[in-house]
Every structure is written in C-alpha cells, then in structure tokens.
Amino acid sequence: MSLPPRTEPGRLLDGRYRLLTHLADGGMASVWLALDERLEREVALKIMRSGLAADPEFVERFRQEARSAARLSHPGLVAMFDQGRDGDDMFLVMEFVPGRTLRQLVTDEAPVGPGPALDIIDRVLDALAAAHRAGMVHRDVKPENVIVRHDGSLKVADFGLTRAVAAATTGGQPGVLLGTVSYLSPEQVEHGSADARSDVYACGLILYELLTGRKAFDGETAIHVAYQHVHGSVPAPSTTVPELPEALDRLVALATARDPGQRPDNAADLLVEVRRTRSILGLPALLAPVATTTARLDISQLSSHAATQATAPVTTADPDGTVPRPTADPTTGRPPDPPPSLVDVADGASHDGAHGGSASLDRTAALPIVREQDALPQPPAATTGPRRRRLLLPVLLLLLALGAGAGWWFLLGPGATTVVPKVATLQLTDAQTALAANHLVGSVTEVFDETVPKGQVISSAPAAGASLHRGDTVALTTSKGQERYAAPALVKTKAADAKAVLAGVNLALGTSTAAYDETIPEGSIVSQDPPAGTAMKRGAPVSIVVSKGREPIPIADWRGKPMADAVAALTKAGLKVTQGTPANSDTVAKGNVLEQSPVKGTLFKGDTVTLVESKGPVLVQVPNVVSMQRTKAVKALEALGFRVNVENLFGGFFGTVRFQDPAGGSMAPKGSTVTIRVV
C-alpha cells in the first residue's frame, strides 16, 4: 500500500510551487495550500501517495486525465491549473477554494430540508453535466469532493484523479476503498466499470444524505457496505424523515436504481428531474422546515434558487391590463339586483317639423257689362224692318256673355281639370312649385325613412298622372330622414333606472353584466355600449356594465415564507405593505415573515398589510469548556440553552473535554447542538 507523501511547509515543488499549509489527507493524496511563485497566487496542491509515481501506467494515465480535466471550464468545477512531478512525488495544481466540504456541511447541518437539498444537488449536477457533455466521468462523486464556499456557492473537485489511480490500485486496498465505498455504484463494485450513470447514482446518495442526515448504506466494513450497494435498494428518505414528500422518494429511487439502465443517462437528465420535482413540490413544501434541523449555515444562500424556481408568477388581467368583467354573480349565476332608486334624466331629443305653403289662383275674369235698360224688353216698334233688327242685337250680346263665362269656368276656372305632376324624389320646395304650376295645392306629411334623404318627397296622393280639378289638394309624404335617437348618458347612474331612461328615448335595455370597479359605487353603471350620444334606431339595445363595487382581495398567510416574496405578491395585488420592527425567532428562519396583520380575510386595493421580518434565532456566545470535566461542561452548555452531543474517545475514561464544536467564544443559535469530545 502506498504511503502518505512526506513533506513539510516551505518545500518548493518543480521550482515553482511553495508549500504553505497542510490542509488535509485523503486515501489517495495529501492536500496543501501552496503559493505559485511564478504567478503569485495561492493554489491547492494535491500530492499523490508515494509509490504511485513508480508505476509508468499510472504516470501516463495521470497526465492524460489531468489534461482532460484542465479543459473543463465551469463555475461549479474546481479549475485544474497544472500537473507535474518532483522527484518521486506526482502532484496536481488546482484552484484554491476557501470554505468547507459538503461532508462537513452534511455532518453539521443535515437534514437540511427539501428546498436546500434540491438546490445543493442542482448545483452539483449542473457542474457534472458540463463534464458529462465533454465526455468525462468523475467516478468518485461524494460530499468530500464538493466544496462549499463561504458565500454558499459550490464547486466539485478531483475530476480525472480517480480514473488515474484506478489504473495503479485495486479495490481490495482498504485505504482506497474505504474513502469511496459509501458512494460507489453497483457496477463499480461488481465490475470496476463506471460511466455518467455512476455519477448519477452517487448524486442520488448525496441527496438522500442531505434529506435524512445519514448515509443510505452503512456498515462496519467496506465489504459490508459494498454488498448492500449490489444487493440492496436505497431506502426511501421518508422512512427516516416522515414529513418528506413522496416526490422526493421517487427522485432518489430514480437516481439510485441498481440497474444503470433505469437511471437517467447523465447529470443533465437527472437535473431535469430535480427541477421538475422542485416545480411539483412548490414553494411551501420546499421551504417546509425539517423537525430535526439545527442549522448554523445560512441555508437561505443555498435555497434562494429553489424558491425562485418554485414561485410560479399568476396573471389575472386581460392583455390590455384591465380586469376581466364577470358575467354573473358566482353564487347565483345572475347579475346582482340593483337597489330601487330613481333619478331624473332629461330627454334631449328633438323632433323636426315642416310647414307647407298653399298657392292661390286669381279667379276673377272680365265679364261683358249689360246695362239694365238694355236688357229690358222694349215695346214693339211701329215699323217692322229696322226696329226688329234693333231688338235682336241685345239678345245676341247676352248669348255671347253667357258663352264667355261658361268657357272661363270649364277652361280656366274651377271647372277646369289638370294632371298631378311627378313629384316623388323631388325636394319639397321643388314639388310645391311643380304642383303650383299645375294649379294644385300640396299638403305635407313627414315620416321617417331609412332610404329616402331628409326633405325629399317619398310619394304623392293622388299619384302622378291623376286628373284633378284646378285648385285641388295633393297629399305629399316627405322624408324626415332615418329614425335615430341619441343614446343617453348612463355611466354613474343607477342601473335600476336604465330601462326607463332608454324607453323615454325609444331605445331598449340590452345585456347587463357585472364587474368590480374601484370608483363606481355598487349598483351604478360603469360603462355602456354604445357610448352616450351615439345615433341609434328605434328600439335598438344599449348594453351596460354594472358595478359590483370594489374588488375584494383575499389575503394569503405569508408567515414563515420569505419576506421579499410576500412584499412582491402583496404589492402586485394592489395592497400597501408596511414593515414592523424585525424580531428574533427560534422557529422562523432569518429573512422570513414572522408576523402578519391581517393574516386572513379580504382587503381592497390600497389597503395596508403589516409584516414583521424574522431576524432568526437568538445567537448565544458558546462558552469554552475545553479541559472541563464532562458533567460540568454539559451543565455549562445546557444552562445557556444549548443541546450537548458527547463523543467519548477511548471510552472517555478521564471524563475531560478535549475538543468542542463550535469553538468557545463563537456565536451559535440558542438551542443548537454543541459537540464535545471527552477522553
């Protein structure tokens, strides 16, 4: 078995990398913080165990895998800068990422709850997906190879190293197997083969551990653990944490199927399932606290992405931004009955009139003047010839006068006849002139007509061509134009009066719908169609929208949910949000809503909702109990409200505290757990 590399601070490797501080030891290598003196930057230097450099196959595979890993570029992957050899030592130069491993986070925080767990595995899969797309498989995905930065971001480390070591080691070496066996896929245990689905399996195990706080398979020996991978099934997380949703059980089962063919093909495919599960669960389930969680990490840094993707913005407006108007009361199916009140509405319609004129004819005529003495009979003349002639002359004159009068009567006077001219389609003045020319008089009647223009003659009675005596009257029917009535102004008037108002101007009430309105009182008219002043046919309908009053806004309970989400949702609903003085809470996470007033019921647009933000639990300074006796240390910690986890080393024979976490003097939430190790 290869031995850990022997080295010390200050050593210069390859004439370039100065070792500064020893960071950690693993089954394959020792990790140091080093200074790249050429570029003057800090790097993480991983020195392989001694003896590996003596294997030519390992050296060649090591170089190939390091070059492949160096080509990967993703913010979630620890960057590979260089690889080299110094004497008998092979080493890798990587990006130095300050923080702690996911193993430490799981140890200290798990179970972390659905939202943070899905967000952590989301980021791990996002990084692995980039490698899988490039044709690279990690083969040793585990919490120890995921680094959590202080800002909450994650980076996956050690690409390429496992495959190189596999060329020079065997699974029977305890130092190699024990470091990875908890996350090996069944095919890795049975055949030593691994592909992208093996990384998927390991991610499923990490998700299980995040959700439950324990490994899926555990045992006293590596062989026992490996046997469970091959012959057992990963238990459902809800068997350990009952409040976990069934969707998380299905997700873990999918990722950890024993048959690789039943798993997602790669990290990108599993990432799709993770995000689908997050969407199915929704924000309340994602943010639901786990009863056993004792968080000292600011999980909000990790779960903000989950909260963002689970919130599903809701739209309730028409494309033009107006609120849709319901057609009926939701309980009765009919528009609400308006209150019985009255208003007076003036009728502004006017009616046109016309006056017809009459033509007069001069019926006087010159008649022959017959003097009375000329008309009297004269006594017979004494003589017969000339006297008789004198007697016949007056008779002839009388006969001539009578004939002239009769001729005037029948030819020029009332006894004369005439023909009715064609006056239809003429303007009224032109028709009157035509009648006068034919010694006729016109009487006028006006009617509405949809086709004949106003002022034009529609017909005459008698019709054109009829024979009348001079001076007779012809009845003319003329057009008043189209029959139209102006729609009255109904907006802001009582809906109960609309029908009567419309009937007064020869119009009818059309459809009546209801809608909420912030300014028009309930029962009054919000709008009408067509608008006021529109010319309409007799009996045409005018539709109205009746106000249901201000729209009630139901209040959601935002307690325990992110303050930012609550403010955004309430503001979008048209409510005003005021924030009270933030307060501490042992149950509500920092940044979430601690108090809300009102909590339920309905408000109206512009009303106020008061929210109080949680500052999280009260932080208490952890006392220094190192060197104390176990009983005294436990009492001191419990007196400050801490829970105490005692780990006995070598049986705890002396009862003296040699280590504590968190360290003395640090701040920790009241009620959180302090671990002490007693010798």
Determine contact, residues 561/593, Cβ cutoff 8 Å: yes
Q: Which CATH class is domain 485-547?
A: alpha beta
Asked if 526 and 494 touch (Cβ cutoff 8 Å), the reply is: no
Token look-up 């599903």 returns: 312
* Of residues 656 and 358, more confidently modeled: 656
478 residue type, one letter: T
* Residues 198 and 162: beta-carbon distance below 8 Å: no
pLDDT at 586: 84
Question: In the β-sheet with 41-48, what is the strand arrangement from edge to edge?
Answer: 12-13, 17-25, 29-36, 41-48, 89-95, 80-86
Q: At residue 273, what is the residue type?
A: E
Instruction: Give percent helix, percent strand, percent coil of the chain, each to the nearest 5.
Output: 30, 25, 45
- Assign 301 a pLDDT band (cuts: 50, 70, 90): very low
Rounded to the nearest 5°, which phi and psi values hold at 260? -55, -30
Task: Identify each DSSP E strand in 420-575 by its residue range.
Answer: 441-447, 457-461, 467-469, 473-479, 485-486, 508-515, 525-529, 535-536, 541-547, 553-554
- pLDDT higher at 384 or 433: 433
d(CA 354, CA 16) in angstroms, rounded, equals: 114
| pLDDT at residue 440, rounded to an integer | 94
Domain boundaries, the chain: 12-57+80-95, 99-310, 485-547, 553-613, 619-678
d(CA 94, CA 109): 27
Q: pLDDT (tens digit, 9 = 90+) per residue, 9-40?
A: 999 999 999 999 998 876 667 889 999 999 88
CATH number, domain 99-310: 1.10.510.10
Predicted confidence (pLDDT) per residue in 203-241, tens digit: 999 999 999 999 999 888 888 888 899 888 999 999 999
Domain 12-57+80-95 has CATH 3.30.200.20: yes
- 386: pLDDT confidence band, cut at 50, 70 and 90? low
Tell me the per-residue pLDDT of 235-293, one tens digit each, with 9 for 90 and over: 999 999 999 999 999 999 999 999 999 999 999 999 999 999 998 988 888 877 765 54
Whole-angstrom CA distances from 5 to 12, 343, 441 are 14, 100, 134
* Contact (Cβ atoms closer than 8 angstroms) between residue 122 and residue 268: no
Same CATH fold assignment for domains 12-57+80-95 and 553-613:
no
Q: How far apart are CA 121 and CA 209, in angstroms?
A: 11
pLDDT of residue 256: 96
Predicted confidence band of residue 330 (pLDDT cuts 50, 70, 90): very low
Cα maximum dimension of the chain: 199
pLDDT at res. 347: 34
Higher per-residue confidence, 562 vs 367? 562
The pLDDT of residue 383: 45
- In the sheet that 99-101 helps form, which strands lie side by side, from edge to edge? 99-101, 146-149, 154-156
CATH: 3.30.10.20, 3.90.1200.10, 2.40.30.10, 3.30.1490.20. Which one for 619-678? 3.30.10.20
Determine the Cα angle at 233 with ends 240 and 208, to 5°: 40
**pLDDT computed for residue 477 by the predictor:** 94
Give the strand pairing for 541-547 and 525-529: antiparallel
The torsion angles phi and psi of 157, rounded to 5 degrees, stand at -115, 170
Q: For residue 564, which phi and psi values (nearest 5 degrees)?
A: -60, -40
pLDDT above 90 for 388? no
Most confident of 334-343, 377-386, 538-547: 538-547
CA distances from 565 to 291, 314, 548, 557, 598 (A): 24, 13, 30, 12, 17
One-letter-per-residue 3-state SS of 639-674: HCCCEEEEEECHHHCCCEEEEEECCCCCEEECCCEE
- Write out pLDDT tens, residues 70-128: 778 888 999 888 888 888 888 889 999 888 899 998 998 889 889 999 999 999 999 99
Q: Which of 141, 113, 145, 147 is nearest to 129 (CA)?
A: 141
E-only strand ranges, 55-214? 80-86, 89-95, 99-101, 146-149, 154-156
Q: Tell how far CA 506 is from the center of its chain.
A: 47
pLDDT, tens only, 601-655:
999 999 999 999 999 888 899 999 999 999 999 999 999 989 999 999 888 888 9
Instruction: Name the least confident of 150-154, 162-166, 411-415.
Output: 162-166
| Spatial separation of the C-alpha atoms in residues 581 and 602, rounded to whole Å | 24
400 pLDDT band (50/70/90 cuts)?
low
The pLDDT assigned to 27 comes to 62
| pLDDT tier at 390, thresholds 50, 70, 90 | low
Helix (H, G, I), strand (E, B) or coil at 203: helix
Q: Residue 324 above 50 pLDDT? A: no
Helix (H, G, I), strand (E, B) or coil at 528: strand
Task: Give the tens place of pLDDT for each residue, 434-490.
Answer: 999 999 999 999 999 989 999 999 999 999 988 888 889 999 999 999 999 999 999
Backbone angles phi, psi at 493, to 5 degrees: -90, 165
- Report which residue type is found at 291: A
User: How would residue 511 be classed by pLDDT, with cut points 50, 70 and 90?
Assistant: very high
Strand partners, 149: 99
The 10s digit of each residue's pLDDT in 55-76 is: 777 777 777 777 777 778 888 9
At 196, is the secondary structure helix, strand, or coil? Answer: helix
Q: Which CATH class is domain 553-613?
A: alpha beta
Q: pLDDT at position 404, please? A: 54
Integer Cα distance of 404 and 478 in angstroms: 41
Give the C-alpha separation, 94 to 173, whole Å.
Answer: 26
Q: What is the pLDDT of residues 575-601, one digit of tens each?
A: 999 999 999 998 899 999 999 999 999
Contact 132, 199 (CB under 8 A): yes
The span from the CA of 602 to the CA of 615, in Å, is 28
At CB < 8 A and 24+ separation, what contacts does 165-172 make?
165/28, 165/48, 165/52, 165/58, 166/139, 166/192, 167/55, 167/57, 167/58, 167/61, 168/52, 168/55, 168/57, 168/58, 168/61, 169/2
Mean pLDDT of the chain: 80
Q: Does the active-site annotation cover 140? A: yes
pLDDT tens for each residue of 521-569: 999 999 999 999 999 999 999 999 999 999 999 999 999 999 999 999 9
C-alpha 5/C-alpha 51 separation (Å) is 9
Q: Give ∠ CA 60-62-68 in degrees, rounded to 5.
A: 105
Among 122, 140, 269, 517, the one annotated catalytic: 140
- How much is the pLDDT for 638? 92
Closest CA to 476 of 497, 453, 490, 455: 455
Indicate the helix (H) or strand (E) that contains 578.
Answer: strand 576-579
Please say whether the beta carbons of 524 and 366 come within 8 A. no
Residue with the bigger pLDDT between 445 and 160: it is 445
